[in-house]
Amino acid sequence: MPRGDGTGPASGTGMGRGRMGGPNKAGPDGQCICPNCGATTQHTAGQPCTQVTCPKCGTMMTRG
Q: Say if residues 42 and 31 touch (Cβ distance below 8 Å).
A: yes
What are the residue boundaries of the structural domains of the chain, listed by start? Answer: 30-64
Q: Encode pLDDT of 31-42 as tens digits.
A: 999 999 999 999
Greatest Cα-to-Cα distance within the chain, rounded to the nearest angstrom: 56
Instruction: Give yes or no for residue 29 having a pLDDT over 60.
Output: yes
Q: Encode pLDDT of 46-57 as tens digits.
A: 999 999 999 999
pLDDT, position 49? 95
More confident residue, 13 or 46: 46
On average, the pLDDT of the chain sits at 77
